[in-house]
């Protein structure tokens, strides 16, 4: 389960497109679609390359899992049931160092709500959801 007290994340349900991504998460690896024709990463997974439009040149590429905090806010009144018992909780946008055009969401486990160091480096971790599916998370590099 999450290391954030009270948090019950909705568990991702893999489908045909996203199964390789979620399977890799369960192996504690972060893999992104890479269009080999365009050398362009995609996240979330897409049915075709956003640049060349082709679905035929995708490979799953493992990325290093280093990023930075772009912006953040604090969720205090979530509409999502599994978050209400964890409020207040951070909600941050993380840019990937390997390609800052790719961004991820994070609740920044280990960082007290509102005490987020803007621009700080973060590293990849994984947290378990109710179905056992791991999800990618980010924590501030101490």
Partner 1 sequence: MVSDTSWMRNREGMGLWEHRGKVAVVGWGQSHMDRRWDGVTMDRSCGGLTKEACLKAIADAGLSLDDIDGLITSRETRAEQTWAPRPYFDPPYDTEDGLTYASADWIQRELGLKNVKYLKSDAPYIGPMMGLAAQAVGDGLCQTALVWYPMVNLEGRYGHNNPQNLNQEAPGATAFSLPWGYQNGAMFNNLVVFLQYCKKYGKSHDGLAPLCLNLRRNGLMTDWGYYSLHEPYQLTREDYLNGRVIEEPLVIYDCDRPVNTCAAFIFTTAERARDLRQKPVYVLNHAQNNGRGRSTMATLEEHQEAVASLARKMWEGSGLGASDVDIFNPYDGYLTFTQQFLEGFQWHGVKWGEAHDFYADDTRVEGPHPFLSSGGNNGTGRNRAVLFSDSIQQLRGTAGPRQVTVKADTALAGCNTPDSCGFMMFSKHPS
Q: How far is the CB of 141 from partner 1 (least distance, A)?
A: 19
| CA 71/CA 73 separation, integer angstroms | 7
Q: How far is the CB of 7 from partner 1 (least distance, A)?
A: 9
Q: How far is the CB of 5 from partner 1 (least distance, A)?
A: 15
4: Cβ–Cβ under 8 A, 6 or more apart, which residues? 86, 89, 107, 109
Q: Which is nearer to partner 1, 10 or 55 (CB)?
A: 10
Q: How far is the CB of 59 from partner 1 (least distance, A)?
A: 18
Nearest CA-CA partner of 35 in 11, 65, 59, 12: 59
CB neighbours of residue 129 within 10 Å:
17
Q: Which is nearer to partner 1, 12 or 121 (CB)?
A: 12
Answer positive or negative: Cα dihedral of 46, 51, 57, 59. Answer: negative
Give me the residues that bind partner 1 (CB under 8 A), please.
8-15, 18, 22, 43-44, 50, 70-83, 89, 91, 93, 101-107, 118, 129-131, 135
Termini Cα distance of the chain: 22
């Amino acid at each position: 389960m999450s290391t954030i007290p009270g948090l019950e994340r909705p568990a991702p349900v893999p489908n045909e497109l996203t199964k390789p991504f979620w399977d890799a998460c369960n192996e504690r690896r972060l893999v992104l679609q890479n269009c080999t024709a365009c050398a362009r990463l995609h996240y979330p997974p897409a049915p075709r390359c956003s640049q060349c439009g082709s679905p035929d040149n995708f490979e799953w590429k493992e990325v290093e899992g280093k990023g930075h905090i772009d912006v953040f806010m604090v969720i205090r009144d979530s509409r999502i049931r599994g978050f209400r018992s964890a409020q207040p909780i951070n909600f941050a946008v993380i840019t990937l160092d390997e390609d800052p055009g790719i961004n991820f969401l994070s609740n920044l486990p280990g960082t007290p709500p509102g005490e987020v160091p803007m621009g700080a480096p973060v590293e990849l971790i994984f947290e378990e959801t109710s179905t056992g599916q791991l999800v990618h998370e980010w924590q501030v590099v101490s």
